[in-house]
Chain A
Amino acid sequence: MNRLDPRVRLVWVARSLLGAGVLGVGAAVVARVFDAPLWAAAGIATAVVLLAVVHAVLRYRVWRYELREDALYLERGVLTQVRTVVPFVRIQHVDSSRSPVERLVGLGSTVVYTAGSRGADVTIPGLTPRGADQLRERLKQLAIAADSEDAV
């Protein structure tokens, strides 16, 4: 079972910082309107950030993925554990992507698409850019192999 790069925690925390910032500003406005003290807003934002940090740490601990014989297997989720099996035959296409935050930290992700109606797009975050590209290539080859394994 492969684990993610530890730096992925930074990416997740950075993302939640953004959300906490927006929330903080909103709370500050509300506090302003209702004459509540501003530190309450700051408190809410801080609490959110703290929760996010804890969540990111736990999330990193449980995240696993594995290339099995005929399927991609993922294990993730803190409160609700999710285990997904994506058979290689069902892979429609594979992307590797890097968001601004990921670029900043020096990471990338691989996204696997199936035709399914839900859980259709499976993202594996926290890969090195090289790792993301390699995983993409590997999945592509496995998808092709799964397609034509009986051709010879």
Chain B
Amino acid sequence: MKLSTLSVPYRAVRRAVRLVVPIAFAAFSGMTVLPAGVGAIVAGVIVGSVFLLIGGWELAYYRRFDYELTGETLDIRSGVVARRNREIPLRRVQNVDISRNVLERLLGIAAVSFETAGGGETEATLRYVDFEEAKRLQREVARLKRGGSPTDVEEGAEPSGDRADEPEPEELFAVTSRELALLGLLSFDLRVPGLLVLVLTGSVPVLSSFVPDIGLDGQSLGAVLASWGALVVGVLLFSWAAGATVAVLNFYGFRLDRVGDELQYERGLLRRYDGSIPLEKIQTLTVEDTPLKRAAGYATLRIETAGYAAGGGGGREEAATAVPLATRDRVFALANAIEPFGEPAFERPPGRARQRYAFRYLLALGGVTAVLYGLDRWLAGAPSVPAPIAGPVATLAAVPWYAPVALVPVLAAAAHLKWTHRGWWLGPDHAVTRNGVWRRQLKVVPYYRVQTVIDTRTVFQRRRRLATVTIDTAGSLSVLGSDAAAVDVDAGTADRVRSELSDRLRRSVLEYRERRRAERLRALAVDEGPAQEHGEPRAPDAEPADDRSTESDGRRGAEDDGERSVDADGEGALDAVDEDADDAEDDGNDGDDRDGEAATDVAEDGAADRGAGDDGVGSGERSRSHTE
């Protein structure tokens, strides 16, 4: 299959805008040394030839780009000079995302990206295909992963039976205009004021232009506070507006559907995103709220899968958002529909954790007070303050040094709030943790998705016999450092939780295998036939080795533009097992038993479980070549 023909001019124009404008600027300004007419002509020729080069390059790119959806892989052959053949096994595909900006929507084209668990970057992107084709790819990938037979797209006609086995989409959530407006109102982006403060304090002249006329010669405290207050209010209003705009742009027309065993979403006003999230790849759920949202009784739901590389834009968090804003009850109902974890009965950290927070805050407050006191003493000695910092120094000096003491009750309240918002719970099948006051996050981790359990105790925690138990998953938001964690639990409890978690992981893996095996046996019992119906021509013996090399190849990323290297020698036992696993799982997915020998089935099953079980994280394909 080829890309859309429209992609040639569109890509050329995009590249030209990025490239030609600076070149033209340089050329035209450089040519002013020549006589007027000649200079313009020379510059025009340069710009023109660059434009031609770009056009030629993009045409060549189009001609040399070829992709195909086979029954088991997505094959992409690309590259104008350095050629690359990439085959991505479909069952390793985590998400298929379509994104279109305004111009692309007018042209009817879209960029499609395919995410796998390997590393942080997108596995493959098609820029650009017709929107219809993009939707077809998304549908087909989902269908083939369910074990459907490949349709013959070359002939154009879709077989009538094809649509029939596609499950009906069931709408889980669609944002109403009221909710969107509310989302805008409640989306106060705390990062914006932080950034503004950074920018403002980064340059004192700017700051002093905001806060004029404060000299040592004496302004009343009221005036000083008023001007600072105005500045703070201004910053807050600005960040509010910014947050609201971003939220509305990102989540305009948001809807979430469930199609068979996948979630599909659509969102965006200017740039529109269409994405799919396979349910079996979900690592953690996050229910998030802010004080504003809490007060209004609303919350946000995010879904993490392994290896989600920002879903084509808008940031990881936006990409992982399943429900931008809904009432708490609805969010919990939806979250429970996806991962039935029930109603968590949180256990709080012991009371001495609260003392710890209070102590920590008081220490900070003490520091501030000490600085103010020192400043006071220093100014009492009447030194000559250097001009650039005179303004801020005067502002600080205008505040009595003992003023921070008034904040003690506030800090006590803050410590208490921090404490009450923490919690952890080990449910029947899920671990749930809750942390944060400003951005309270409730994280739901199925035991089955636990990767490692990390127990950390800092010097200060040890003083109070506390510990933090972090549950690591293969989720991608966790990269930002917001793992599910039971923070400041009792040290003894931490020991217990640690072993409990690893124990429950083991049990859930066993359960999962039991289920898989039961399903598989049932499938075997029922369908000698259906597998034949699809009648895929396969060369089973050649398959595993082929599969292996392509997978590790695909994972190696953009640098590797050479031939597909064959590191499929699979000497080590690990490799051998994994190969079996891949193979066996293929069979399971296709409902097509390779040899139908019951004796090998059992052994294969166990192996299949590894492939299947770790599916969410792509089962050890990363840097396989290091393994012996």
Q: Is A28 an interface residue (CB 8 A)?
A: no
Chain A interface size band reads: 35 or more
Check B459–A152 contact: CB distance below 8 A: no
Question: Contact check: which of B456, B572, B607, B614 meets A151 at CB < 8 Å?
Answer: B607
Check A119–B455 contact: CB distance below 8 A: no
Chain B 438-496 interface residues, beta-carbon cutoff 8 Å to A: 450-459, 462, 470, 472-476, 478-479, 481, 483
- With A93-B574, A116-B452, A118-B472 as known contacts, state yes or no: A150 contacts B620, CB within 8 Å: no
Bound Cα distance from A140 to B603, whole angstroms: 18
A89 to chain B, nearest CB (A): 5
A121 to chain B, nearest CB (A): 10
B448 to chain A, nearest CB (A): 10
Query: Which B-chain residue is minimally distant from A116 (CB atoms)?
Result: B451
B522 to chain A, nearest CB (A): 17
Q: Is B617 an interface residue (CB 8 A)?
A: yes
Check A115–B617 contact: CB distance below 8 A: yes
Check B607–A147 contact: CB distance below 8 A: yes
Query: Which A-chain residue is minimally distant from B481 (CB atoms)?
Result: A118
A49 to chain B, nearest CB (A): 23
Question: Contact check: which of B452, B623, B627 meets A87 at CB < 8 Å?
Answer: B452
- With A89-B506, A143-B574 as known contacts, state yes or no: A84 contacts B627, CB within 8 Å: no
Q: Is B602 an interface residue (CB 8 A)?
A: yes
Bound Cα distance from A58 to B627, whole angstroms: 33
Question: Contact check: which of A80, A84, A115, A150 meets B510 at CB < 8 Å?
Answer: A150
Check A79–B614 contact: CB distance below 8 A: no
Q: Is A66 an interface residue (CB 8 A)?
A: no
Question: Contact check: which of B476, B478, B610 meets A147 at CB < 8 Å?
Answer: B610
Q: Is B406 an interface residue (CB 8 A)?
A: no
Bound Cα distance from A92 to B479, whole angstroms: 19
Q: Mark B346-384, 1 if CB is under 8 A from A, else 0.
A: 000000000000000000000000000000000000000
Check A93–B624 contact: CB distance below 8 A: yes
- With A89-B506, A93-B624, A140-B574 as known contacts, state yes or no: A118 contacts B458, CB within 8 Å: no
Check A147–B498 contact: CB distance below 8 A: no
Check B456–A85 contact: CB distance below 8 A: no
Q: Is A13 an interface residue (CB 8 A)?
A: no
Q: Mark B589-628, 1 if CB is under 8 A from A, else 0.
A: 0000000000000110111011001100111101110111
Q: Is B513 an interface residue (CB 8 A)?
A: yes
Chain A 60-91 interface residues, beta-carbon cutoff 8 Å to B: 70-71, 77, 79-87, 89-90
Chain A residues with Cβ below 8 Å from B450 are 87, 90
Chain B residues with Cβ below 8 Å from A82 are 454-457
Chain B residues with Cβ below 8 Å from A80 are 456-459
Chain B residues with Cβ below 8 Å from A141 are 573
Check A151–B603 contact: CB distance below 8 A: yes
Secondary structure of the A contact surface, majority rule: mixed
Bound Cα distance from A87 to B306, whole angstroms: 18
Check A115–B451 contact: CB distance below 8 A: yes
Query: Which A-chain residue is minimally distant from B479 (CB atoms)?
Result: A117
Chain A residues with Cβ below 8 Å from B509 are 89
Chain B residues with Cβ below 8 Å from A120 are 451-452, 472
Question: Contact check: which of A86, A118, A143, A144 meets B478 at CB < 8 Å?
Answer: A118
Check B606–A150 contact: CB distance below 8 A: yes
- With A90-B451, A117-B476, A151-B602 as known contacts, state yes or no: A140 contacts B573, CB within 8 Å: yes
Check B618–A118 contact: CB distance below 8 A: no
Query: Which A-chain residue is minimally distant from B617 (CB atoms)?
Result: A115
Check A71–B502 contact: CB distance below 8 A: yes
Chain B residues with Cβ below 8 Å from A93 are 574, 620, 622-624, 626-627
Q: Is B117 an interface residue (CB 8 A)?
A: yes
Q: Is B505 an interface residue (CB 8 A)?
A: yes
Bound Cα distance from A146 to B609, whole angstroms: 11
Chain B residues with Cβ below 8 Å from A83 are 454-456, 498
| Most interface-central of A85, A95, A114, A116 (chain B CB within 10 A) | A116
Bound Cα distance from A79 to B513, whole angstroms: 41
B229 to chain A, nearest CB (A): 40
Q: Is B577 an interface residue (CB 8 A)?
A: yes
Chain A 119-152 interface residues, beta-carbon cutoff 8 Å to B: 119-120, 122, 136, 140-141, 143-144, 147-152
Q: Is A94 an interface residue (CB 8 A)?
A: yes
- With A79-B459, A82-B455 as known contacts, state yes or no: A117 contacts B622, CB within 8 Å: no
Question: Contact check: which of A85, A95, A115, A136 meets B614 at CB < 8 Å?
Answer: A115
Chain A residues with Cβ below 8 Å from B306 are 115
Check A144–B472 contact: CB distance below 8 A: no
Bound Cα distance from A92 to B452, whole angstroms: 12
Question: Contact check: which of B117, B472, B510, B602 meets A119 at CB < 8 Å?
Answer: B472
A28 to chain B, nearest CB (A): 30
Q: Is B88 an interface residue (CB 8 A)?
A: no
Query: Which A-chain residue is minimally distant from B483 (CB atoms)?
Result: A118
Bound Cα distance from A116 to B451, whole angstroms: 5
Check B510–A140 contact: CB distance below 8 A: no
Chain A residues with Cβ below 8 Å from B602 are 151-152
A78 to chain B, nearest CB (A): 9
B419 to chain A, nearest CB (A): 21
Q: Is B501 an interface residue (CB 8 A)?
A: yes
Chain B residues with Cβ below 8 Å from A77 are 456
Question: Contact check: which of B459, B498, B501, B627 meets A95 at CB < 8 Å?
Answer: B627
Check A144–B617 contact: CB distance below 8 A: no
Check B472–A81 contact: CB distance below 8 A: no
Bound Cα distance from A70 to B620, whole angstroms: 19
Chain A residues with Cβ below 8 Å from B457 are 80-82
Query: Which A-chain residue is minimally distant from B580 (CB atoms)?
Result: A148
Chain B residues with Cβ below 8 Å from A148 are 577, 603, 606-607, 609-610
B182 to chain A, nearest CB (A): 32
Check B452–A86 contact: CB distance below 8 A: yes
In the assembled complex, 28 residue pairs joining A and B whose CB atoms fall closer than 8 Å, in A order, are: A71-B502, A79-B459, A81-B457, A81-B458, A82-B454, A84-B453, A84-B455, A85-B454, A85-B498, A87-B450, A87-B452, A87-B502, A89-B509, A89-B613, A90-B450, A90-B614, A93-B620, A93-B626, A95-B626, A113-B623, A117-B474, A117-B476, A118-B454, A120-B472, A147-B577, A148-B577, A148-B603, A151-B607
A residues near B (Cβ < 8 Å) are 70-71, 77, 79-87, 89-90, 92-95, 113-120, 122, 136, 140-141, 143-144, 147-152
The 10 A-B residue pairs with the shortest CB-CB distance in the complex, in nearest-first order = A151-B606, A116-B451, A115-B617, A148-B606, A116-B472, A92-B620, A83-B455, A117-B478, A85-B453, A115-B474
B residues near A (Cβ < 8 Å) are 117, 306, 450-459, 462, 470, 472-476, 478-479, 481, 483, 498-499, 501-503, 505-506, 509-510, 513-514, 572-574, 577, 602-603, 605-607, 609-610, 613-614, 617-620, 622-624, 626-628
A-B contact sample (12 more), CB < 8 A, given A82-B454, A115-B117, A117-B472: A81-B458, A87-B502, A113-B623, A116-B451, A116-B474, A118-B454, A118-B470, A140-B573, A147-B606, A150-B609, A152-B602, A152-B603
